Structure formats: C-alpha cells, structure tokens
C-alpha cells in the first residue's frame, strides 16, 4: 500500500507540547529582526521570480558548486521528495538505511517505489557501511538513500564510505540521495557529498543547524541534468518559491556568521552534558555524541513509549520514542536547546528513568 500521508510528521506536528522538549532536532530559533534590513529589502511588489538566481548563487557559493547545480525547494523535505520523484518511477527499487527518518520511507512509498533496506548497526555505532549497501542492492536498484549526519544517531559517514557507495550506484546506473540537513553540525566539518561525483544528489536547508525553520529555505545540489528535472517537476507542485522568503534567505546567507553565532559552542557544551549523563546511567547505552544535534540511546527498560508517557505525565518533558525509527527500545533526544534547559530536562529524564528501576 502506498503511503498517502506521513504518520510521523502528523505526530511531530500535533503531539502534546512539554516545557522540556527533547524531541526537537534544531538549534534555538534565530531572530531575523536582529539583522540590519528594512521592509523594502523584501521586494514586496507582488512579483515571483522563477529559479531566483541571487538565492541560488548564495547557496552555490557556500557549498562550492555552480548555480545550475542548485534547486531551491520548501525545506529539505520538499527537496527530498523532488529528488526522489525525479529519479524514481513506480516499481523502481529504492534502498533506504535502517534506522531511517520516517519521511524518507514515506516519500518513497508515496511515489510507488519498491523499498529495500540496509542496516546501520548499533553495535557498529550506526556506521554507514558500503558492504551492507552492496549486499542489499539488486540490479533493479535505482536510488540509495542515506542521511549524513545519520538521523537519529548523528553518526558521521566517512567520505571513503560515501565514495564507495557512489561507485556501487554508478556501476548499477543508480544514484545516491544524501540528506545533509544535519551535516553542517559535523565535527570535524565535512563538505557535501555532491563533490564526490555526478551520482550524488544532496539536500539541505536553513532549518536544523541555522534555526530558521520558518523560512522553509531548502535546496538540492545535483548534476545539472538532474537539477533540471527537479525544476521541471516543481512546476507541478510549488511553481515558484515565496519571494519574500527568498529575499529573507538571501539576507540570512549574507549574514551567515551571525546566524550561526555561538551554536557550535552551545552544541559542544550540550553534547558534553549528554555524554556525562549517559556515563552516569547503567540503564542507557549510547555511542558518544561527537557531532550533530541528536542522540539515540538504548534503554534497558524496553519499549520507550512507556518512558515518554511517564515523562509527559509527571515531568513535563518528552523524547521521541524509538518506534518512529523502527527501534522501540531506543529513543531520540535532541540537544539544541539552551544549556540550562537541557540540564533541567536531563535531570527530569534521570528521575523518570529511576522510577522504572
């Protein structure tokens, strides 16, 4: 059965909110009105601008590609489904990592793809392993889908692993979609996989690492022929981007250092807090957080829906139960919140975990 909706996205949008939400996976929101611009800079004359070049040029400059390789889209979400729709026909085989961000599975299902999986093993720190990809590939594989950083674990894939997967894809006439929405929070920094060859299509946005989810400024970086197919497809969907949002995104790129601010320091501090919290608990098993905004610990207590229910009920705190990633005894935490809030959230999480002992 084709997916006609996203169960995960509906849950993520409408779940009961809590004061200490470890469910988020982005840095604190950035206030655009802290930047020096006026309303006239938004070009509010009512016109729309097909393939608005000034924004594509800014994205191209930051990621070291040409503007013809940049396709703008409403968030990484739209970029992902445009990329899949450009590369996959109904019945084509799509190979997707497990655990996976649910939307990637749901989008492929909606497009009528035949989905196969390859494992990112917890005992191997959720490493992206080309051998796992190779053993799951068939001669019908048209697209391989990975996240880098991995959502939920934040594992950083090596360029060597990505290159090997690119070679596997190239030899089968397939492509590789790399969702890079967390990549700009990698430690050490890593360039986009689009630089590894024409079989790569990479998606990203100003949402997670930049705190600008409201702009819905996303994009795909791809070989020019794939980019052209995506633009043509978008004529069926969004046609053009909202121009005021395009202008705001240009302003954000022009002040990107201010937008980034001290988020790298915040994330480093929060990862250290998280690692210390895990070290203090016998009931959690988690690879060390070194990159990214999320972690995916295993809980010895079993189904983490129970943990999340207690967190809601007694602690005004929440996590993402692992069932959304097909691993019910794990849960995802995000540590993109203010450090004082994270400290309080972890203290509450600790108290809830203690109740199950």
Ligand X SMILES: Cc1ncc(COP(=O)(O)O)c(C=O)c1O
Chain residues binding ligand X by CB under 6 A are 25, 75-77, 101, 147, 151, 179, 181, 205, 207, 213, 218
CA-wise closest residue to 136 among 162, 150, 116, 120: 116
Q: How far is the CB of 207 from ligand X (least distance, A)?
A: 3
Q: How far is the CB of 61 from ligand X (least distance, A)?
A: 20
Q: How far is the CB of 213 from ligand X (least distance, A)?
A: 5
205: which residues sit within 8 A by CB, 6+ positions away? 75, 76, 79, 181, 216, 217, 218, 219
How many angstroms separate the CA atoms of 165 and 175, rounded? 9
Q: How far is the CB of 100 from ligand X (least distance, A)?
A: 9
Q: How far is the CB of 284 from ligand X (least distance, A)?
A: 22
- 242 class by beta-carbon count within 10 Å (0-12 exposed, 13-18 middle, 19+ buried): middle
Q: Which is nearer to ligand X, 210 or 299 (CB)?
A: 210
Q: Which is nearer to ligand X, 308 or 352 (CB)?
A: 308
Q: Which is nearer to ligand X, 149 or 311 (CB)?
A: 149
Which pair of tokens denotes residue 62?
A: 């930051």
Backbone angles phi, psi at 296, to 5 degrees: -140, 75
Q: Which is nearer to ligand X, 207 or 352 (CB)?
A: 207
Residue closest to ligand X, measured at CB:
75
Q: Which is nearer to ligand X, 183 or 352 (CB)?
A: 183
CB 163 within 8 A of CB 128: no
How many angstroms separate the CA atoms of 139 and 121, rounded? 24
Which pair of tokens denotes residue 35?
A: 């930047």
Q: Which is nearer to ligand X, 207 or 263 (CB)?
A: 207
Q: How far is the CB of 316 from ligand X (least distance, A)?
A: 22
How many angstroms separate the CA atoms of 51 and 271, rounded? 38
């Amino acid at each position: 059965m084709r997916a006609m909706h996203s169960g995960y996205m509906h849950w993520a949008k409408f779940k009961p909110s809590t004061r200490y939400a470890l469910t988020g996976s982005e840095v604190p929101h950035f206030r655009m009105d802290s930047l020096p611009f006026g309303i006239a800079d938004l070009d509010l004359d009512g016109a729309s601008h097909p393939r608005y070049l000034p924004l594509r040029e800014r994205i191209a400059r930051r990621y070291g590609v040409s503007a013809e390789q940049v396709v703008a889209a409403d968030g990484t979400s739209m970029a992902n489904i445009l990329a899949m729709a450009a590369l996959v026909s109904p019945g084509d085989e799509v190979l997707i990592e497990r655990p996976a961000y649910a939307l990637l599975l749901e989008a492929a299902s909606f497009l009528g793809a035949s989905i196969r999986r390859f494992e990112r093993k917890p005992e191997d720190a959720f490493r992206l392993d080309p051998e796992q990809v190779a053993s799951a590939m068939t001669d019908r594989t048209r697209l391989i889908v990975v996240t880098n950083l991995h959502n939920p674990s934040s594992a950083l894939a090596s360029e060597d692993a990505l290159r090997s997967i690119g070679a596997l894809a190239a030899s089968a006439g397939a492509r590789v979609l790399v969702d890079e929405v967390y990549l700009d929070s990698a430690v050490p920094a890593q360039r986009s996989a689009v630089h590894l060859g024409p079989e790569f299509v990479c998606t990203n946005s100003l949402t997670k690492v930049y705190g600008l989810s409201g702009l819905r400024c996303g994009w795909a970086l791809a070989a020019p022929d794939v980019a052209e197919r995506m633009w043509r497809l978008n004529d069926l969907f969004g046609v053009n981007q909202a121009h005021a949002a395009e202008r705001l995104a240009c302003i954000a790129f022009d002040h990107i250092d201010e937008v980034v601010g001290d988020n790298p320091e915040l994330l480093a501090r929060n990862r250290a807090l998280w690692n210390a919290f895990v070290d203090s608990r016998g009931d959690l098993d988690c690879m060390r957080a070194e990159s990214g905004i999320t972690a995916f610990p295993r809980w010895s207590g079993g189904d983490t829906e129970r943990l999340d229910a207690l967190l809601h009920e007694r602690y005004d705190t929440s996590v993402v139960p692992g069932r959304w990633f097909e691993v019910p005894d794990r849960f995802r935490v995000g540590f993109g919140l203010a450090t004082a809030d994270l400290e309080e959230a972890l203290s509450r999480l600790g108290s809830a975990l203690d109740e199950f002992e």
